Structure 1
Amino acid sequence: MKSTTVFRRLGERILCPKRVVNNDTAKHSIYSTNDSRTTPSEFNASPFPKFREDEMAMLTSNPATIPMLNTILKCPLDSKDWVQVSDKDDQVLKNVTSMYDSTKLPSVTRILQATQPPLNQIILARWKSKMTAKLGKEGFFHYMTQISGEGSSFHESVENFLNKIPVDIEDTGQWKSIHPVLKKVQGVHGTEFIATHSVLSYLGKIDCVALYKNKLCVFDWKLSSKKRDSLKKCFDDPYQVAAYAGAFNACHDTPNKISTAVIVKAYRDGSPADVHFLDEMVLEFYWEGWVRRLARYHVQVFNSQANDDSSNIHKWQD
């Protein structure tokens, strides 16, 4: 069995490769059967810094993707803080950009859907199966259409309120749930707009950027029938707002960068909304998780294109 050391950081399982010692023939191996201890400093000096077990499996199956993942994981929440981008990293980012049509960058929602953890995929599949059995295929389709329409109407009403336009859902439970929160939102910078991260090649539609607790935040409004009173119950929402914050920072040349975010869960039955405020430390944690998901998505696209055109591989190996 391969020997590994596992570090835990805010609940995240990270695979720490063993340091290879006194073995010229195995100097490129990521494991060692001799050394029983690996310090964090040695781990960070590894040619595979901070890669998790699933990422390591992905990389070893196609070594050409190593530069991509290695470079993307370096990007900070505000890409303008990345002041010393090496020529190699710069070329890698250009190669990533070249994989996409500039007018058809992948969205945050699409990336998160394509990189869901296996457990989340199982939960979603079971829910769809349960609802289909209950409503039938056509009934489930109509149910999803209704939910989508309700969500769009909800977002439109929130946007109108923040822009001081009268709303027409004041008597509904969802409005009773979220209205007290909206009254605390100040200094609105924008609502329902697209932000593009040209460095990391993705885009997203941001619900709102405004002041909350005297901090400039990305807001995300969510409508729910079930209680979501912890970030754990919000599934991918924290990664979503981290992605939006990074995109806003990348495409807005202002001194006011975003380092905090707010997820608001409003309830259809009128229960008080749950407000999840992600401070600087928490948002940084989810940003790290987001760039991992983003890198995996880019690798998936690269592998798909490489199967069609082997010349794509060579430009990553130059």
Structure 2
Amino acid sequence: MAIRPDYTIGTLTLTSGSANFTTSGSALQTAAVQAGDAIITRSGDILIIAAITGQNSGTLFLPCPASAAGAGQPLRIRFQPDGSRYQGAVRNLIDLLSSGNVEALAGLTGAAGKVPVFTGPGAMDLRDYIADPNGSLGKLAALTLAANKFLTTDGSGNLTQSDITAAALVLLKLAGTAAANKLPYFNAATSAALTDFTAAARALTNLSGTAAANMLPYLTGANGADLTVLSAFARTLLDDTSGAAMWATMGGTSGFSGGTSWTKLPNGWIIQGGATSNSASDWRFAFPTTFPNTCMSVSAINTYDYNGSNSVYIGISTSNVNTEGFDIRCRNISPGVVTNIGSVPVRWLAIGY
């Protein structure tokens, strides 16, 4: 085979330490310059071409030495003899054949519906062929998978990826045995379990009404639920842990002191009462708490009805009633005579607001 002359069309630019080179006006691909051909520089260096990457560009097997670097140099490429090139190709082919892959394929006995697959280096076996008439596998192969995604299909049957949250991933670890009337729940930050799903709980899921702020669900029957207003005041009761705490939240108060007591109802009404006595027959008694507006009624009774004789009775009356207290008057009443009497035990009750 005739030896091809050196290729000398165009100029050459080499950079010290770089494996890349460029030419100008050389049309390297058209001239069939290939890997293995050699660039002979004006410095006498011989640089072996690793690849031709364009009509005027390529790469070297080794970086360019400083002695060969320069721009606009005369281009001289010496072609590798065809025999040497073919010999190299044959060696590559022999290396490929010696891997055992071709021998493994040749050792298989073909059968309908089977495809060869590698089971290891230089080892193959037959597996069932999986048909893909709808192109589903192709759609899956076209996806670029990303972290924390799950696959869904749209109305056209196309595969898409959607976000899967940390909570959803935990639900996939659900522990327990699936059974009727069970509901999954989180029992830790990284695990979930099953609990009973009662009839009442199912009724709550059949909730009617429009979701809005300050609404509270309640059961309307065995199979349904509805919403009612949950006022700001009602919410203040929800954290109370006792009747006394709820009473105070609603505005109820009370007090006790020296044989007297009083209670203020949430609507503002006050009930006061107690027991008292005085050496005088007439005296002023102060309420343990003042009525903010008025005392509607006050009554007083003596502890016993007569004063040592069946014909002498004790009478008690009140007067000068205001928001702060009232006067008590005690009298002995006998036929035709009314006299003062002191130290009479008196019980009293007052109502106001």
Shorter-normalised TM-score: what interval? under 0.3
TM-score, with length taken from structure 1: 0.18
- Structure 1 or 2: larger helix share? 1
Which structure would you say has the larger Rg? 2
Q: Which structure has more RCO (C-alpha within 8 Å, separation ≥ 6)?
A: 1
With the length of structure 2 as denominator, give the TM-score of the two structures: 0.16
